[in-house]
A and B are shown apart, each in its own frame.
Chain A
Amino acid sequence: MSVKLNSCYSLKGPMIVLALLFIHVLWSHLIYYTILIYAVMNMPNLLNIQQLSYVYHTMQGETLAIKDISFTVSKGQFISIVGPSGCGKSTLLSLISGLLAPSAGQIVIDQSILENLKYAIGYMLQKDHLFEWRSVYENVLLGLEIAHVKTPENIAYVEELLEKYELKDFKKYRPSQLSGGMRQRVALIRTLALKPDLLLLDEPFSALDYQTRLNVADDMYNIIKKEGKTALLVTHDIAEAISMADEVIVLSKRPANIKASFSITLETEDRTPLKSRADHSFSSYFNQIWRELNDVPSTT
């Protein structure tokens, strides 16, 4: 197996963050920031990707889809990945999920901070793929059935999610009777049912019209934050990427490698994707990322 589980990590990060609270009161801001940076650097990384490459082999020849990608994802982080169409974004998610084995490099998941050892990763594909021969409720239970964990607790959790996200009255409906946004929420709950620590989202809004897209992005963001999940979102919509993420990674044309990475800090309180779009710095981030994607040299 290519995904290595690494259990040796240090408790340093969280402990120091706690200690900070005291120091903050007693000591100067200088010390505070020095230690904060140190602490952040020591935060446990849920996912550590090192020099990852992937080659597709077909009768027509070989395609290098991903070339030497390295990045880390810490717990609770929301990372957006943008890149041109066909650059290898879906491939990257398939690699992380373990559906594909890397041609080179490593994907290390820190086992010690996982809450769910067995199903650490939930992968939401580009299309919802709800099964028409199942009701909404049966669709949501699909993952639990396949993983043979259709336990009363898990079913109760699913019921709770359906109730919380306003799908309870539609349990008996067929997927075709739902709106696009509702289908997307059903697909998300189907993924959340297995309580994964890390969510991989492959253009989850691409099938929706613009209006719905904004609303569903808000809904999904709230669900993900409320359930305390770490998320990796793939999209080619720059605005969407910024509006949801703590960090945006820009990929190059195929073979994908990391061109730039932007850490997003907005002033908006109680961030939601919609509110983020109205933030002061939003357009500045947008321009920077747009330039990166289109190879326009930076003016500043």
Chain B
Amino acid sequence: MTSQAQHDFMKHQHQQKIWISIYQLLILISFLGIWELAANMKWIDPFIFSSPTRVVTTFVDMLLKGSLLNHIGITLYETLVSFTLGSFLGILIAIILWWCEKVAKTLEPYLIVLNSLPKTALAPIIIVWLGNTTKSIIFTAISVSIIVTIINVYYGFSQVDVEKIKLIRTFGGQKGAILSKVVIPANYANIISTMKVNIGLSLIGVIIGEFLVARAGLGYLIVYGSQIFKLDWVMMSLIILGILATVLYEVILLIEKKVQKIGG
């Protein structure tokens, strides 16, 4: 049975949680309210700054015409593909580097250079090489995330306690057993946190790719909208992008919880 003090404590904590949610909601409502008011009262130019109602009408309008879902879908698809490929290849390369220490040592300076290079600078070249296609967008996004993945995961691998590795060897385990029984499981948390960063980076890469390829997707809507002064499109796309990024991040958090339950 819980004591009165424990009960009070729980109640207090619960109330505090509710209040924080209320404050959060208040900030959102007042932001939207002030934005709407400022636009209506012409404090800001609604043509340039848009307004919540204009965003909503644009949203409904584009949704009904059918093109919006298509744009969202394309951005989502490109992000998921580049995230999956980037994470998978990154982890794979990290494993190879761990397996062949000589290769890792040899490639170290190149990895450092590639890591410090702003990858977005590569996007124009990639588009010249691969053409104005989805492939270029995905490639750009992978180039943004893969080096960080390799470096983070490899670093985690190399930090594994040598005594734990020795334990595997006392049972006659070779490199394969060391990898599958210790190195990878010990890095579950590290891999997940790398993925959390990756999903954001992939989205950045995809949007930049779409800016340049300019055919479809939310990135395309943003560039195109600003070029033809349809700032309503731009604002709406930004808001959708924000929601999309949050949802994707939450999905990773959900996977993290699952993995933690299995162990790690």
Q: Which residues of A are in contact with B by a Cβ distance under 8 Å? A: 97, 99, 119, 122-123, 125-127, 129, 131-135, 142-143, 145-147, 174, 194
Contacts and interface: CB of A to CB of B under 8 A. Distances in A.
Given A127-B163, A129-B164, A134 B171 contact: no
Interface string B159-191: 001011011111111000100011001101000
B170 A125 contact: yes
B88 to A, nearest CB: 21
A12 to B, nearest CB: 33
B186 A123 contact: no
Contacts of B173: 146-147
Interface string B237-263: 000000000000000000000000011
Contacts of A135: 263
Contact of A133 (B163, B171, B263): B263
A147 B171 contact: yes
B263 A99 contact: no
A146 B172 contact: yes
A145 B167 contact: no
Contact of B263 (A127, A134, A146): A134
A143 B172 CA distance: 8
27 contacts: A97-B170, A99-B169, A99-B170, A122-B170, A123-B170, A125-B166, A125-B170, A127-B163, A129-B161, A129-B164, A131-B181, A131-B182, A131-B185, A131-B186, A132-B263, A133-B262, A133-B263, A134-B185, A134-B263, A145-B181, A146-B168, A146-B171, A146-B173, A146-B177, A146-B181, A147-B173, A194-B171
Contacts of A146: 168, 171-173, 177, 181
A142 B182 CA distance: 11
A129 B163 contact: yes
B172 A119 contact: yes
B177 A133 contact: no
Interface centre among B172, B173, B177 (most CB of A within 10 A): B172
Interface centre among A122, A123, A126 (most CB of B within 10 A): A123
A147 B172 contact: yes
B264 interface: yes
Contacts of A133: 185-186, 188, 262-264
Contacts of A99: 166, 169-170
Contacts of A174: 263
Contacts of B264: 132-133
Interface centre among A131, A134, A147 (most CB of B within 10 A): A131
B169 A129 contact: no
Nearest to A134: B263
Given A146-B172, A194-B171, 11 more contacts: A99-B170, A119-B171, A119-B172, A125-B163, A127-B163, A131-B164, A133-B185, A133-B263, A146-B177, A146-B181, A174-B263
A97 B172 CA distance: 10
A122 B169 CA distance: 11
Contacts of A131: 164, 181-182, 185-186
The 4 closest A-B pairs by CB, nearest first: A133-B263, A123-B170, A146-B173, A143-B171
Contacts of A127: 163
B264 to A, nearest CB: 5
A129 B263 CA distance: 16
Contacts of A132: 263-264
A145 B264 CA distance: 19
A146 B181 CA distance: 8
Contacts of B172: 119, 146-147
A231 B182 CA distance: 27
B160 to A, nearest CB: 11
Nearest to B164: A129
Interface centre among A97, A99, A143 (most CB of B within 10 A): A143
A223 B215 CA distance: 72
A193 B166 CA distance: 18
A126 to B, nearest CB: 8
A25 B186 CA distance: 63
Contacts of B262: 133
A100 to B, nearest CB: 10
Nearest to B182: A131
A129 B169 CA distance: 13
Nearest to A133: B263
A145 B172 CA distance: 11
A122 B167 CA distance: 11
Contacts of B170: 97, 99, 122-123, 125
Nearest to A119: B172
Contacts of B188: 133
